[in-house]
Amino acid sequence: MNNGLYEHIEVFLAIAHARSLTGASIATGIGQATISRQLAALEHHLGCTLFQRSTRAINLTERGEAFLHQAQRVIDAMAAAQAAVQEKGSRLQGRLRVACSNGFAKKLLIPLLPEWQVLHPEVNVDLMLADHLSQIIEERVDVAFRIGTLPESGLFARPVGSFQHIVVASTEYLKKHGRIARPEHLAQHQCILYSGFEHPEQWHFTGPDSEHRIRVGSRLQSSTFDGVCDAVQAGLGVAATPDWFWRSELADGSIQRLLPDYHLSRRIIHAVTAARPQAGGKIAIFVTFVESRLPQRLALVSPLSQQGKT
């Protein structure tokens, strides 16, 4: 591949993730004027416009969206090839500071670490568990795994997986309070909310008939999904949570999935770093490792159970 073209693609990805030339400049360490020139050169090479620009924002065009996915594959493939070669001649060493929520660590990340430790025994992983977005630079975090829409920043965010939120309640709660057949029925129930969302009381469903925007009532909120899920298991109400929280509980019937024909929006899992990780370094290799294993962990969620019977 033409080396200049490879660099232009890296710049394009930095702009796409940062949604600004300034953010891309910070993430890559390349001057903003050079960023602009490389983007112009790439657009000239491709013969199309990749971004729509305004004084307030920069957004991908339809062709830019199509190019984004293929461009990421090219960069990832090159990084993986370089990592494979470099690992033959050197072993990864040192400390890796990883920030994520307690629930993400318990259900998804920690089960992957035994394999990681076999592959890289000289890397010490330091887990920093919190549901809020860590101050990556100030706390010297190497990589943070975060879910959903991220605030605009100069940080580099790479999508590594996605999952579905589902509505759940305990079987005991449903026996006492009755079944929920449509989103509108949620108004008759107590809902447990995750206060980390901007509008936790607003639930947006896409169903077989139409879209449903529901404002739910609640007497209980939690700043962590662990707290939300503990409250669900205690029979305190209904909640919308990641499907991967409930593998064993859905299987044993203590927790029921509600409204299976009505879908909440999918959530994206991002690996967030201060800048694009250096190809072949332990951060890049760790992120690629997690990305390659996450689909299997997410697929381990039990088949979605039927709505609870009362």
Selected residue with higher pLDDT from 18 and 168: 168
The parent domain of residue 63 ranges over 3-85
Q: Specify the pairing of strand 255-258 against strand 220-222.
A: unpaired
Can you give the pLDDT at residue 300?
A: 64
Spatial neighbors of 97 by CB under 8 A, at least 6 apart, are 126, 128, 139, 140, 141, 142, 143
Tell me if 309 is assigned to some domain.
no
Residue 19 lies in a domain: yes
Residue 290, pLDDT > 90, answer yes
Q: Are residue 54 and residue 173 in the same domain, yes or no?
A: no
Mean pLDDT for 162-185 is 94
Please, what is the average pLDDT of the chain? 85
**227 and 141 co-located in one domain:** no
Task: Tell me the pLDDT band of 81, cut-offs 50, 70 and 90.
Answer: low
Per-residue pLDDT of 13-42, as tens digits, reads: 888 877 788 877 776 778 888 999 999 999
Tens-place pLDDT, residues 264-285? 988 889 999 988 887 788 999 9
Decide if pLDDT at 307 tops 60. no
Beta pairing, strands 123-129 & 255-258:
unpaired
Is residue 49 a part of any domain in this protein? yes
Residues 153 and 276 occupy one common structural domain: yes
Q: Is residue 104 part of a domain?
A: yes
CB contact at 8 A, 183 and 191: no
Percent of the chain with pLDDT strictly greater than 70? 87
Q: Within this chain, do residues 193 and 282 fall inside the same structural domain, yes or no?
A: no
Q: Are residues 236 and 186 in the same domain?
A: yes
Mean pLDDT of 222-251: 93
CB 242, CB 255: distance < 8 Å: no
Q: Do 174 and 258 have their domain in common? A: yes
110 within domain boundaries? yes
Instruction: Give the tens place of pLDDT for each residue, 113-159.
Output: 999 999 999 999 999 988 666 677 777 899 999 987 776 677 888 89
Q: What local confidence, expressed as pLDDT, does residue 6 receive?
A: 84
Per the model's pLDDT, the better-predicted residue between 55 and 280 turns out to be 280
Residue 305's pLDDT is 40
The pLDDT of residue 89 is 44
The predicted pLDDT at position 66 comes to 87
245, 186: one domain: yes
The sign of the torsion formed by the CA atoms of 176, 243, 98, 28 equals negative
189 and 259, same domain (yes or no):
yes
What is the maximum span of the chain, computed from C-alpha positions, in angstroms? 66
* Number of independent structural domains in the chain: 3
Quote the CA–CA distance of 74 and 163 in Å, as a whole number. 24
